[in-house]
């Protein structure tokens, strides 16, 4: 069975084709991605209306590219999957509308996918795929969650952020340091030249005893610290700026690692899966690798280029849901989107 996946929830248009054979893990045949980041950089963040319009421009050329790279024609697609939520309403409507129109014209069924489930299952696309059950650390621009995952569609929320997401903490701190949107990758590159112990920043909820996160206070502490430092905090080449970046990253990473290890310990799980854009962070990976090796826990990541939003994870999640019998693809083309959609509400 061949499943086409379309992602358009935020500022990346992604299209991919996966193939399933029996119960074996679905195989990625091809995928294509267009990132709008450059367009949004001029505004310091994503402009929803511009995002929607650009998805419209990109989605069909990307689909053609995916089909031609896979050497498959559209009539050989069995199911068209799309991101139904959460995300920007207008952006979601583009992918959903195109997916439903395409499927209707081909006489094939459609399947709406939860964006976070896409991230969660994206490590199954890597050579070192995990096995159920596991603890998942979902760290993206909009979400920070720890989940217990017992199988496809069997997700129990263990803890989540009560305010900003980890990606947001990276992005907002990076903005204070004069780095372009989205600041996570830039901040982490800058941090490599800095001293992580240079500035004392808070580790919010580190000892709260639960698995919740809070990053809003950290952002305020970074602001206060940058005001104390003065212009050097956002001057290219200033050692203070690199030190502030390293100290900020150290605070975020320490909390993420500590809570992940607590989740593993309290549930007795021996496997951790990291997903979402912040999962690309090198320091986070290094520290999780070290902590997991010590605790004899296997840790899995998506391939670096599949950490941030992409179509492959949407096609993959759809394929795995179909294989598990968690959802049927339906030839019903009236669609809705769910801009807000907690993952644990997914059956």
**Contact call for residues 3 and 102 (beta carbons, < 8 A):** no
Q: Compute CA 79 distance to the chain's CA centroid, rounded to the nearest angstrom.
A: 23
Pairing, β 134-139 against β 144-151 = antiparallel
Of 142 and 159, which has the nearer Cβ to ligand KG4? 142
- Interacting partner of 121 out of Zn ion, ligand KG4, none (Cβ under 5 to 8 A depending on kind): none
- Interacting partner of 90 out of Zn ion, ligand KG4, none (Cβ under 5 to 8 A depending on kind): none
Q: What DSSP designation does 136 have? A: E
CB of 103 to ligand KG4, least distance (A): 24
Of 59 and 252, which has the nearer Cβ to ligand KG4? 252
Q: How far apart are CA 239 and CA 252, in angstroms?
A: 20
Q: Compute CA 174 distance to the chain's CA centroid, rounded to the nearest angstrom.
A: 19
Of 196 and 277, which has the nearer Cβ to ligand KG4? 277
Of 149 and 278, which has the nearer Cβ to ligand KG4? 278
- Interacting partner of 167 out of Zn ion, ligand KG4, none (Cβ under 5 to 8 A depending on kind): ligand KG4
Give the closest residue to 104 by CA, choosing from 79, 70, 130, 139: 79
**Contact call for residues 186 and 37 (beta carbons, < 8 A):** no
Q: How far apart are CA 78 and CA 26, in angstroms?
A: 14
- Interacting partner of 99 out of Zn ion, ligand KG4, none (Cβ under 5 to 8 A depending on kind): none
CB of 330 to ligand KG4, least distance (A): 26
Binding site for ligand KG4 (CB under 6 A): 10, 119, 140-142, 167, 170-171, 182-185, 188, 276-278, 280-281, 308-309
Of 240 and 309, which has the nearer Cβ to Zn ion? 309
What the block records as the tokens of 174 is 């990076």
Backbone angles phi, psi at 124, to 5 degrees: -70, -10
CB of 309 to Zn ion, least distance (A): 4
What the block records as the tokens of 72 is 């498959």
- List 30, 96, 140, 226, residue binding Zn ion (CB under 5 A): 140
CB of 78 to ligand KG4, least distance (A): 27
Give the closest residue to 230 by CA, choosing from 176, 173, 187: 176
Within 288-347, the residues that bind Zn ion by CB under 5 A are 309
- Interacting partner of 188 out of Zn ion, ligand KG4, none (Cβ under 5 to 8 A depending on kind): ligand KG4
Of 87 and 97, which has the nearer Cβ to Zn ion? 87
Q: How far apart are CA 105 and CA 124, in angstroms?
A: 31
Q: Compute CA 288 distance to the chain's CA centroid, rounded to the nearest angstrom.
A: 17
- Interacting partner of 301 out of Zn ion, ligand KG4, none (Cβ under 5 to 8 A depending on kind): none
User: Contact positions toward Zn ion, by CB under 5 A?
Assistant: 140, 309
């Amino acid at each position: 069975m061949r499943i086409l996946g379309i992602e358009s929830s935020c500022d990346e248009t992604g299209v991919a084709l996966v193939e399933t054979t029996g119960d074996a893990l679905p195989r990625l045949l091809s995928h294509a991605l267009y990132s709008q980041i450059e367009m949004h950089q001029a505004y310091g963040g994503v402009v929803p209306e511009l995002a929607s319009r650009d998805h419209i421009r990109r989605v069909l050329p990307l689909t053609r590219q995916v089909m031609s790279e896979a050497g498959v024609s559209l009539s050989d697609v069995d199911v068209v999957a799309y991101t139904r939520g959460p995300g920007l309403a207008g952006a979601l409507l583009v992918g959903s509308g195109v997916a439903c129109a395409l499927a209707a014209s081909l006489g094939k069924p459609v399947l709406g996918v939860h964006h976070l489930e896409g991230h969660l299952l994206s490590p199954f696309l890597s050579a070192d795929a995990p096995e159920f059950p596991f603890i998942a650390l979902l760290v993206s621009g909009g979400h920070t969650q720890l989940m217990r995952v017992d199988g496809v569609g069997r997700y129990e929320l263990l803890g989540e952020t009560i305010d900003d997401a980890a990606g947001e903490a990276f992005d907002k701190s990076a903005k204070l340091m004069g780095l372009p949107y989205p600041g996570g990758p830039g901040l982490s590159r800058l941090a490599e030249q800095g001293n992580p112990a240079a500035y004392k920043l808070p580790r919010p909820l580190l000892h709260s005893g639960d698995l919740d996160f809070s990053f809003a206070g950290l952002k305020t502490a970074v602001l206060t610290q940058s005001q104390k430092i003065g212009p050097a905090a956002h001057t290219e080449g200033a050692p203070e700026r690199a030190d502030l970046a390293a100290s900020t990253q150290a605070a975020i990473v320490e909390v993420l690692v500590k809570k992940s290890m607590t989740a593993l310990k309290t549930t007795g799980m021996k496997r951790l899966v990291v997903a979402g854009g912040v999962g690309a962070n090198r320091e986070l990976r290094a520290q999780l690798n070290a902590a997991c090796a010590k605790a004899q826990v296997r840790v899995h990541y998506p391939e670096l280029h599949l950490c941030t939003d992409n179509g492959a994870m949407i096609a993959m999640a759809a394929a795995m849901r179909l294989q598990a019998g968690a959802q049927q693809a339906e030839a019903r083309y009236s669609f809705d989107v769910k801009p807000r959609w907690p993952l644990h509400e997914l059956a």
